[in-house]
Amino acid sequence: MASLGSALLGLAFLTAFAAAALAIAGRNGDERLLRFSRRTVYGFFALLTGCVVIIEIAFASNDFSFNIVQQHSSIETPPFYKMAAMWSSQEGSLLLWAWVLSIAAAAALYATRNKLREVVPWATAVMMGVAAFFTGLMLFAPNVDPFATLSPAPENGVGLNPLLQHPSMMIHPPMLYSGYVAFTVPFAFAIGALITRRLDAEWIRSTRRFALIAWAFLGLGLLLGARWSYTELGWGGYWAWDPVENAALMPWLLGTAFLHSIMVQEKRGMLKVWNASLIVGTFSMALLGTFLVRSGVLQSIHAFGDSTVGPYILGLIGVVLVGSTALIVSRLDDLRSEKRIDSLASRESVFLVNNLLLVGMTAVIFWGTFFPLISELFTGEKASLAAPWFDDYTTPLAILLVLFTGVGPLLAWRRVSWDSAKRVFRVPLAVSAVVTLGLLVFTDVADSLWALALFAFAAFALTGLGQEFWSGASARRRLTGEPGPQALVGLVGRNRRRYGGYIVHVGVIVLLIGIAASSSFQTNRDVELRPGESVVVDGRTITYVKPTVKVDEEKLSFGSLLRIEEDGEVVGFLRPSRAFFRPTGQETGTIGSFFSGEATTEVGLRAGIGADLWIAEEPNIGAVQGRVRRADKGFEACIQGGPGTPPECKALGALMRASVGNPQREARALDQISRLQSLAAEDVAKSYLDDTAPSTFRVIVDPLVTWMWIGGIIALAGALIALWPTRGRRRGALVRTEADARKEAKYREIRDAELDHAAGKLSDEDFASLDAELRREALEILDRVDGENGNGNGNGAHPREPEKVEPG
Amino acid sequence: MDPQRKRKIRLVVALSTAVLLAVALIYTSFSASTEAKEPSQLLTATPGTSYEMTGRVVKGSIEREGSGIAFRVVDRDGQGESLPVTYDGTVPDPFRGGREIILTGAIEKGVFVGEPDTLITKCPSKFTTKSDG
């Protein structure tokens, strides 16, 4: 099996090269070569799928001759975690990277099979180049071969770390990888567009979806990681500005900027250099994230053994940065904007501001993350920056971002007249003022001015977005005569991208409200309680009712039953605990061995719309540990058979001695011993129930933190709406050419303008001139499409013109 | 004002703001940072100055002391003299003997006193080298 896997991987490596070579050979429009190259990419995907399947089968069937299986799984590992253990290894995660890339590349080439005939060959070459790099890494770099074998095969594996045995931990890495990897597609097409100087918006239209998918996956990955940290790690936070977290946040921020600024290029033909640079930056950041977790360059909670692949990835980042920069510089003439910004009060200039804020935020995080290296370079001393420094910079930037998120959708493209501005800003400003006043009067939000500013801007932005939906829906009702709710659904359905985007905005703002409230107004206390004692934290009475114990073969778990009272009424019970695991892959041994493995905190969490009550316990197991030591000693003495040992001990000792050299008996003796030991362990652990030693509890009251997760889910739903294929496409109109796409985009712009006008965002005068201009442009496109169809020859004669519409 | 000039002014304003912000960023980062040191360097460090210590917890040295814990750390490579540490606050899940930790604190009477809630324990690496497994 392993050799089959190695063969498939080797073949995949060659296939990646072949696909790239075929694509470049067919760059002048040789349809046959291009089709062949595309199918070779599908083949690459099939080969890597084969590799993944082989590894998964090995995990499922406990094939410990596979090094990767032996190191990361065991017979006892639950099936679900067996399937997911692949990416908890270095080599498995590289395989996952390459596999996801093969999916993305195949999908991208399928989606563009009738478009961008000049750009696609180069994009194929770039994607397959990256793919060859990662497959080559597994084949040639030391210690990262997923098909390395062990001979003879051990009987059992080391097992999977219990801390990682958490559902979100199993989904979190593939989400992040999918995000990182999917950014390869827009990057590759950008490079292709630069090489062929096809620098209109078509490469963006064709890969925008991939950028959005990447963005959504990365966001989901970040959210799951934060959730895991909050519920599992026992420190009560969700974000620590740890280098590895930052490494995933940076491409997400740049990706967010990219998703906004490409709209400016699509609509107005501006910001071309900026967009090309942004996607290069985003992809480099994604590679940097992949690199950071594998290098040991920075000190991080996510300690990853110093591994061998770091320098190679760093090399790839260097090639990407130098190559892309040279390419962009050499194409500066072709990247000149087609138009200029008409007015500062326009949507495009707000997009520019939001881009600057996002890039600024990335720059701050980048500086802070790499500060240890920077400081060593300049002062010779490694020094690092803690969370407060990051907060100082990112907080104001995030607050401004919320403000501009509110302003942007209210403004029309190109320019906004004073009258229409007054009309659209009136309600959001009023609501924001009322909310601010209300917060000042009824709460003590004023303690944190940053939080107050954020809430004020959030109220403004949310009202503005609500107004967008409202006025859009009523405009549609006037145009179509549909009833209100139906008009709203129709509005979103017909303009998925726009209103999906607005829903994302709502989600992100709600998420930021959650972050602001929970970080500014958190109550955080460490208290020592004995059974029966109570403490009052932020109006909630918490009573330590009694200690609890759970014993099973792999862990001892000590915890407590807590009663929660609010206003004198019992509202619920929480059961925080801490579990002590035997070292992985070890089922027998002394009782004390339970305390030499991992320990995991089970948080007692009472989530609420208003606030979360979060309690983690540090059980006082000093007394238990003492008894465990004595029990272990007694057990040993018992088997040695010293004076005064009870009779069953003597029998056991005799059994032990008799079984030496007799495997069958030995197994029985060991079995008996482990059974007795489990009983003893249970006994000793149960003694904890009578302990009255105080345990330490960390009690956190986190206001509005639930909204962080709710906001995240809303944002993802919005992204999904924006991604959903439009109806026209689903109805068999799968084959679309560039000219069609351009025509459709222009029609959409006309519709947008009509909607903006009907919604009162555009003055009559502005609308008249805009509409006339758009219609003229649409006619030009139509003329061109007709001309090409009449000529019958799209290739050769007009190399820069849209291709001929293909039959079928 | 003609548009060309207006654009130029805008550009100058934007660039100077960016430069100012960058200078502030650089300045504060150097003044807000804590120096990172390993235990062997801290044995002779100035008492009272805050440092970020990265070290490896000595196996079997962890003891409960009041509401906190006391333990010893050595350099990450496991070499050199060990440094006594006290820490009062929640201990992260992966904390135990033999693990690498990062802790901010200062030397007081020869003991490294950690600030509450700054103890970071490296995750039992997903990508462990074999020696760890």
How many CA atoms lie within 13 Å of A548's alpha carbon, on the beta-carbon side?
A: 16
Secondary structure string (H, E, C) spanning A312-362:
HHHHHHHHHHHHHHHHHHHCCCCCCCCCCCCCCCCHHHHHHHHHHHHHHHH
Residues facing B85 on adjacent strands: B71, B112
Spell out which residues of chain B touch residue A616, defining contact as CB-CB under 8 Å.
Answer: 90
CB contact under 8 A, A386 and B130: no
> Cβ neighbours of residue A31 under 8 Å, at least 6 residues apart?
none
| Chain A residue numbers touching B28 (CB-CB < 8 A) | 389, 392
- Looking at residue A528, what is its pLDDT? 87
Q: Contact A136/A98 with Cβ under 8 angstroms?
A: no
Nearest CA in chain A to B67: A696
C-beta atoms of B90 and A616 within 8 A: yes
Mutation pick from B2, B7, B33 vs chain A, by most beta carbons of A within 10 Å, is B33
Measured between beta carbons, the chain B residues lying within 8 angstroms of A301 are: 102, 120-123
Mutation for testing the B interface, residue in A176, A526, A698 having most B CBs under 10 Å: A526
Under 8 Å between Cβ of A414 and A342 = yes
How far is B123 from chain A, CA to nearest CA, in Å?
Answer: 5
> Å from B94 to nearest chain A CA?
6
CA distances from A162 to A158, A583, A615, A729 (A): 12, 10, 21, 46
Task: Find residue B65's DSSP bridge partners.
Answer: B68
Residues of chain A neighbouring B127 (CB-CB closer than 8 A)? 89-90, 93, 293-294, 304-305, 307
Q: Which of residues 515-574 of A touch B (CB under 8 A)?
A: 526, 528
Q: What angle do CA A390, A393, A399 make, to 5 degrees?
A: 120
State whether B36 and A526 contact (CB < 8 Å): no
CA angle A221, A223, A224 (to 5 degrees): 65
Q: Do B122 and A303 touch (CB under 8 A)?
A: yes
C-alpha span between A651 and A664 (Å, rounded)? 17
Of A232, A293, A305, the CB nearest to B129: A305
Contact B36 A299 (CB under 8 A): yes
Residues of chain B with Cβ-Cβ distance to A89 below 8 Å are: 126-127
What percent of the residues of chain A are helix, what percent strand, and what percent coil, each to the nearest 5? 65, 10, 25
pLDDT at A152 (0 to 100): 84
B34 with A386: Cβ contact below 8 A: yes
3-state secondary structure of A304: coil
pLDDT, residue B63, reads: 79
Question: Looking at beta carbons, which residues of chain B come within 8 Å of A600?
Answer: 93
The dihedrals phi and psi of B121, each to the nearest 5 degrees, come to: -110, 135
Burial annotation A663-684 (CB, 10 A radius, 16+ → b, else e): eeeeeebeeebeeebbebbeeb
The residue of chain A with its CA nearest to that of B33 is A385
**A158 contact residues in B (CB cutoff 8 A):** 133
B123 interfaces chain A, CB cutoff of 8 Å: yes
What gap in Å lies between CA B60 and CA A555, rounded to an integer? 20
**Higher pLDDT residue, B95 or A45?**
A45
Task: Pick the residue of A143, A379, A382, A586 with the most B CBs within 10 A to test the interface with B by mutation.
Answer: A382
**B-proximal residues of A, 297-356, CB under 8 Å:** 299-307
More confident residue, A677 or B52: B52
**C-alpha A522 chain-centroid distance:** 26
Residues in a beta bridge with B35: A383, B51
Q: How many angstroms separate the CA atoms of A262 and B47, rounded?
A: 54
**For residue B29, what is the nearest residue in chain A, using CA coordinates?**
A385
| Radius of gyration for the alpha carbons in chain B, expressed in angstroms and rounded | 22
Which chain B residues are Cβ-neighbours of A360 within 8 angstroms?
21
Tokens representing B66 are 């009041």
For residue B50, list its beta bridge partners. B106
Q: Which of A164, A301, A364 sits opposite B122 (nearest CB)?
A: A301
- Binned at pLDDT 50, 70 and 90, residue B131 comes out as very low
B36 at interface of A, judged by CB pairs closer than 8 A: yes
- How far is it, in rounded angstroms, from Cα A268 to Cα A274? 14
Cβ separation A618–B28 shorter than 8 A? no
Q: Which residues contact A720 (CB under 8 A, 6 or more apart)?
A: A216, A500
State which H helix or E strand residue A203 sits in. helix A202-232
Interface test with B, best of A618, A620, A621, A699 (most B CBs within 10 A): A618
B105 touches chain A (CB under 8 A): no
Say which of A293, A367, A528 has its CB closest to residue B29: A367
> Phi first, then psi: what are they for A281, rounded to 5°?
-65, -45
By CB neighbour count within 10 A (0-12 exposed, 13-18 middle, 19+ buried), where does A70 fall? buried
- HSE-CB at A193 with a 13 A cutoff on CA atoms is 28
State the nearest Cα–Cα gap between A121 and chain B, in angstroms.
36
Interface of B with A in 38-97 (CB under 8 A): 52, 54, 64, 67, 89-94, 96
Residue with the larger pLDDT of the pair A790 and B69: B69
Closest A-chain CA to B38:
A382
Confidence (pLDDT) at A802: 39
Give the Cα separation of B7 and B20 in Å (integer).
20
Q: Give the separation between CA A288 and CA A251, rounded to whole angstroms.
A: 9
Q: Tokens at residue B101, please?
A: 């930790």
Determine the Cα–Cα distance for residues A172 and A116; give it in Å rounded to an integer. 34
- Cβ–Cβ below 8 Å for B123 and A601: no
- Indicate whether B122 pLDDT > 80: no
pLDDT at position A766, please? Answer: 78
How far apart are alpha carbons A525 and B41 in whole angstroms?
A: 34
Q: Is A366 on the interface with B (CB under 8 A)?
A: no
> What is each CA distance from A802 to A190, A736, B86, in whole angstroms?
18, 12, 71
Of the candidates B25, B122, B124, the beta carbon closest to that of A364 is on: B25
Angstroms from B48 CA to nearest CA on chain A: 17
Helix (H, G, I), strand (E, B) or coil at A395: helix
Q: DSSP letters of A409-422?
A: HHSPSS---HHHHH
pLDDT at A8: 94
Q: Give A-chain residues touching B118 at CB under 8 angstroms.
A: 386
- The SS3 assignment for A762 reads coil
Verify whether the Cβ–Cβ distance A367 to B91 is below 8 Å.
no
Q: Does B115 touch chain A (CB under 8 A)?
A: no
pLDDT at res. A787 = 61
pLDDT value of position A414? 75
Distance from CA of A234 to the nearest CA of B (A): 6
Cβ–Cβ below 8 Å for B123 and A618: no
Query: Tokens in use for A191?
Result: 């490079």
Widest pairwise Cα distance in chain B: 76
pTM of the model: 0.87
H helix intervals, B33-128: 39-42
Candidates A235, A337, A393, A557, partner chain B, best to mutate (most B CBs within 10 A): A235
Nearest CB to A526: which of B34, B89, B102?
B89
Q: Is the peptide bond before A152 cis (omega within 30 degrees of 0)?
A: yes
Task: Determine the angle formed by the axes of helices A202-232 and A706-723, rounding to 10 degrees.
Answer: 160
Torsion A133-A134-A136-A141 (CA) sign: positive
Alpha carbon distances (Å) from A747 to A293, A348, A390, A498, B34: 46, 19, 44, 15, 57
Question: Which residues numbered 158-177 in A keep a CB inside 8 Å of some CB on B?
Answer: 158, 161, 163-164
Cβ <8 Å between A368 and B90: no
Positions of chain A with pLDDT under 70? 295-307, 584-589, 596, 638-653, 656, 726-738, 785-808
Nearest by CB to B93, from A234, A307, A386: name it: A234
CB contact under 8 A, A364 and B64: no
